[in-house]
Amino acid sequence: MGIKVGIKVMIIDGQADFRSLLMHHVTTHWPDAIVSAYDPTTAGHLPDEFSGAGNDIVLLGNDQGGDREGIDTLRRYAQSPGFPALIYFGEDGEEKAAVKAGADAFIRRNAIRHDELIVGLSDILVARRRVASTSSLFSGDLETGIHPPIRGYRFLKKLSATEHSAVYLAERESADRKVALKVLRQDLEDESSIAAFERFLQEYEMIAEIDHPNIVRIYDLGVADDHSHIAMEYLEGGDLKARIETGMTEPEAVRCLGEIAGALGAIHETGILHRDLKPGNIMFRSDGSVALIDFGLAKRMRLKQEITGGGEIFGTPYYMSPEQGHGGDTDERADIYSLGVLFYEMLTGEKPYRADTAMGIIYKHAHAPLPLLKPCLSRYQALIDTMLAKKPQDRPSTAAEIEEWL
């Protein structure tokens, strides 16, 4: 089942026979399991501050000393931060209430089957331990010392985190230099983690090949048993999303367009598409210059098959070209379309297309009329029209054409 010996299980129920039955099921399959039992009807309810600490899983029966005490107790435990996995054993008609209250699983207490019980417990324990592994790397704070041990770097601050990766502000001890340290967890039992790990390494290889003033600089790559890291330039000026929210001047928007176009031209020349151009992936240095970051969805155009398979939709719907949104073939002109969306947003502070759903946005990119600029910005309308053309052949074929237009 993938679970090692020595798991810790706590059983809480008012019937001694039922507690013994659950203990028998657990120890039959896991002889070395550490099982504790608690009787709330004779010993009293556990205090509100009870956190379940030290246990891997809690088996909670509905006999807690009252008609609604079982569900109420379940809800209280489930709301406790960091509480172990909770399996609730109840009667017919309690399942919906138990799931709503926060149970990881519901089992009828008068219909327990050994194999189903053990499989269910194993699946929950495996899932919880994967989450805990991710949390230990990416969800803790630096004050508690929870972060991946990477030699040569002193962690200063966590900047962001996702399911598989996290970005930290760190200091490179050998060079006394602040860096953005992107760390990826690898779980060999999780196919999605392996795919993300492969994309992570591919991302480093692609960026490291490019030397351009408007592309983030890469300093170091490291690989360990359960994670890898990329040390890259720390960009202090924030991202384009924040700049747009505070409002950009026309000259600032035009300058950023030119710098982003230059960065796109550089990656396109090496046979790479970005495919996820959006305000959050464009950062500013302290001197105000733009740096393109996060090539996690990029691909080499010369590859016939992407490592994540064909026909999938990647990117952010607000910035997707019509062909990308519909899973079609893409080339440099898909990135140019995304850049057109960015330029419109930098000029106006608004996205050209909005809808209630992602598919609604994708539909508008393909079928809605081209967005119109205010009369005071009309000098850029022709550029917006050509960058946001519905058909790729009607757009500029290279980013250099945008720089020439400017």
The C-alpha atoms of residue 359 and residue 366 are separated, in whole angstroms, by 11
Q: Is 276 a catalytic residue?
A: yes
**In terms of residues, how long is the chain?**
406
Give 177's strand partners. 172
- Rounded CA gap, 405 and 279, in Å? 22
Handedness of CA 189, 193, 195, 197 (dihedral sign): negative
Residue 253, CA atoms < 13 Å, CB-side half-sphere? 22
Single-letter residue type at 211: D
In sequence order, the 6+-apart residues with CB closer than 8 A to the CB of 158 are 138, 141, 142, 147, 166, 167, 168, 169
| Tokens representing residue 239 in the block | 């991202």
Alpha-carbon gap, residue 367 to 276, rounded angstroms: 21
Measured between alpha carbons, how far is 40 from 46 in angstroms, rounded to an integer?
Answer: 7
Looking at 276, 287, 335, 356, which residue is catalytic?
Answer: 276
- Contact call for residues 150 and 165 (beta carbons, < 8 A): no
Rounded Cα distance between 397 and 406, Å, is 15
Euclidean distance between CA atoms 298 and 337, whole angstroms: 15
Q: How far is the C-alpha of 34 from the C-alpha of 54, rounded, in Å?
A: 11
- 152-182 in b/e form (b: 16+ CB < 10 A) is ebebeebeebeebbbbbbbbbeeeeeebbbb
**What amino acid positions are annotated as catalytic residues?**
276
